[in-house]
């Protein structure tokens, strides 16, 4: 997270100069002058990667979650220029080569209802399981606290994550 703050500072310095921002999205290097644009809209409107979704625009719901260097962040809150040189993974990129175990688990546990939030849910789980492979129930609640599911698939999200985490250790 600290690295992101540093990046934000350099973005503020560079933003007035319209320097091209270079970032890597799902393995592809992308250049843009849209330095101020929140990543969410850059993905959706400029790259046509629509799997990352708008839900609140204020970092409250998690529908726009992507991974930045493996860490879950809210793409509606991050200007493109803050992501210079970083590796960004969207839900389309996560299982592009090989389906991620969580994507498999989501299907095995029949998690989705409407499906709108699920990309963000999966990416949050990917990020947090990397940091904490065997979370307790309380840790699981905390790590998924930023992702809302209005359909109420929480019980199945828990089961899907637990099936991959393999229980507390």
Q: Position of tokens 């990352």?
A: 52
For another protein, the binding residue among 32, 87, 116, 162 (CB under 8 A) is 116
Minimum CB distance to another protein smaller for 152 or for 167: 152
Q: Position of tokens 């719901």?
A: 61
Q: Applying CB under 8 A, does 73 fall inside the site for another protein?
A: no
Strands 65-68 and 21-25: unpaired
CB 109 within 8 A of CB 159: yes
Q: Applying CB under 8 A, does 45 fall inside the site for another protein?
A: yes
Contacts with another protein in 15-44 (CB under 8 A)?
Answer: 37-38, 41, 44
Q: Applying CB under 8 A, does 58 fall inside the site for another protein?
A: yes
Q: Applying CB under 8 A, does 106 fall inside the site for another protein?
A: yes
Q: At what angle do helices 154-165 and 118-131 cross, to 10 degrees?
A: 30
For another protein, the binding residue among 9, 12, 46, 134 (CB under 8 A) is 46
Minimum Å gap between C-beta 91 and another protein is 3
- List of long-range contacts for 59-62, beta carbons under 8 Å, 24+ apart: 59/146, 60/148, 61/117, 61/120, 61/146, 61/147, 61/148, 62/117, 62/120, 62/121, 62/124, 62/146, 62/147, 62/148
Facing residues of 87 across strands? Answer: 24
Q: Applying CB under 8 A, does 101 fall inside the site for another protein?
A: no
Binding mask 120-159 for another protein (x = CB under 8 A): --x--------------x--xxx-xx-xxxxxxxxxxxx-
Q: Which stretch binds another protein (CB under 8 A): 8-16, 17-25, 60-68, 128-136?
A: 60-68
């Amino acid at each position: 997270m600290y690295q992101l703050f540093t990046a934000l500072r350099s973005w503020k310095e560079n933003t007035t100069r319209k320097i091209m921002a270079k970032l890597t999205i799902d393995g592809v290097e992308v250049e843009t002058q849209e330095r101020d644009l929140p990543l969410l809209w850059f993905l959706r409107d400029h790259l046509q990667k629509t799997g990352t979704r708008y839900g609140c625009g204020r970092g409250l719901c998690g529908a726009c979650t992507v991974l930045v260097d493996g860490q879950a962040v809210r793409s509606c809150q991050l200007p493109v220029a803050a992501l210079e040189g970083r590796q960004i993974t969207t839900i389309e990129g996560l299982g592009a080569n090989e389906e991620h175990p969580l994507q498999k688990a989501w299907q095995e546990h029949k998690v989705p209802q409407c499906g709108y939030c699920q990309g963000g849910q999966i990416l949050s789980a990917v990020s947090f399981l990397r940091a904490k492979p065997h979370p307790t129930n309380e840790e699981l609640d905390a790590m998924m606290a930023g992702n809302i599911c209005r359909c109420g698939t929480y019980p199945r999200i828990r089961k899907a994550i637990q099936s991959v985490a393999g229980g507390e250790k």
